Chains A and B, each alone.
Chain A
Amino acid sequence: MPRDDLALSSSDDCPSTPPVGIFGRLLMALFQGMPFLFGIGFVAPLIAQLLERMVPGTTQAQWPLVAGLAIGGSWGVAANLRGRWI
């Protein structure tokens, strides 16, 4: 059963793949950068919301979001480079 983030076969896997248009290339770039986008788009606000709930008096503070972006963004970049989340 497929997960949310779909695999795109590399060109090595399918030598007969027809040439892709600009939309296809954009889509491939989007999926290739998906771990980073996931880090920024989901992990960052998740961490921020967790910190706001766990640390008293942080509801209006900016630092939980900054921490979320730093952790989520760097985790996403690392996942992008390594091909694994952990």
Chain B
Amino acid sequence: MDMNASATVRERDLNELSSQELLRLERSIAENFMGGLPWGSIAWAFANLAAWLALWPLTLSGVLPLWAAAPIATVTVILSYLPSHEAQHRIIAREGERLFWLNELVGHLSPVPLGLPYQAARLTHYEHHSHTNDPDLDPDINTKSHSGWRMVIKDIGSQLQTVPKINIAYAKALERIGSDDARRAGAMLLAYALATNALLFGFAWAGYALEVAAIVWLPRIVGGVYIRFFLSWAPHHPGADLGRYRNTRGFRSRLGNILTMGMQYHIIHHLYPRMPLMRHPAAFRALRPILVARGCRLDGI
């Protein structure tokens, strides 16, 4: 990384810089953490998918008991989203680049345990970035709550609805986008929903209801709450401010950075969406003085 730029940040009185100068300095530092192939995320995507797929023969044959299969499947579901998130932002490769196929492969395959179609996730996630915390336009605004416990209770309550609010928000976001891509993504969302139910019904009537509940149904409910808590509620709490430096925050969790899946530094992602997840902690440390000067919310970190 450019150590001179970091040293500059520490030594200068940032308050003396104009907003434009501060932005230029911020970008020059962030540039050092951009680019390169995120091999860690790529390996994570395929290893996690392999682990989830391995649960099927192991559980259906009775080799792995249900009490062990369910928590393992829940962990794989929780871990399945972020590699796809890297692909959604074209971090592995951009369209037209040599490894774009790998980007799309990771994007499509990684969230299979979660049952999330890639294109719908990508388009609605872009809407989240464009309208973070906007009560009408942010498709993830439903996780907004006064406290973490309230968020969990609200989320479970939503999942008990036959048509959860979050699904309505995603369908509306795709409808609002209105492009052919969005229509195709909506159709894929429907196809995934039908395929998931067909999978559950088929295995259940074949005598594997408990097994498929342990591998798919229960992990998606529990894992979904965990993902929405750490990827949506925690980094955007209190979800009241709009704007580049205030719509997301840094925070310190008692669970640490790994169990929160890197979300303590999510503010870096909103500032530089194409920066690989695994570089966020270092980028945060380098950019922290600028974030302080910008009045960002850095809760304990």
Contact = CB atoms under 8 A, between A and B. Distances in A.
Nearest to A7: B167
Interface string A15-42: 0000000000001001100110110011
Contacts of A83: 161-163
B209 A48 contact: yes
Interface stretch (B33-41, B129-137, B170-178, B284-292): B170-178
Interface of B: 81, 114-116, 120-121, 159-164, 166-168, 170-172, 175, 189-190, 192-194, 196-197, 200-201, 204-205, 207, 209-210, 213, 217, 220, 224, 227-228, 232
A13 B165 CA distance: 13
A46 B203 CA distance: 10
Contacts of A3: 115, 159, 164, 166-167, 220, 224
B160 A86 contact: yes
B168 A1 contact: no
Contacts of B170: 2, 7
Nearest to B81: A1
A58 to B, nearest CB: 14
Contacts of B205: 41, 45
Contacts of B210: 46, 49-50, 53
A80 to B, nearest CB: 7
A35 B194 CA distance: 12
A54 B235 CA distance: 43
A79 interface: yes
Contacts of A41: 197, 200-201, 204-205
A41 B197 CA distance: 8
Most buried by B among A44, A45, A48: A45
Given A5-B193, A31-B193, 8 more contacts: A1-B166, A1-B224, A4-B197, A6-B171, A9-B172, A37-B201, A38-B200, A41-B205
Given A2-B167, A3-B159, A3-B220, A45 B209 contact: yes
Nearest to A4: B196
A76 to B, nearest CB: 9
Contacts of B228: 1
B224 A5 contact: no
B172 A45 contact: no
A85 interface: yes
A2 B114 CA distance: 9
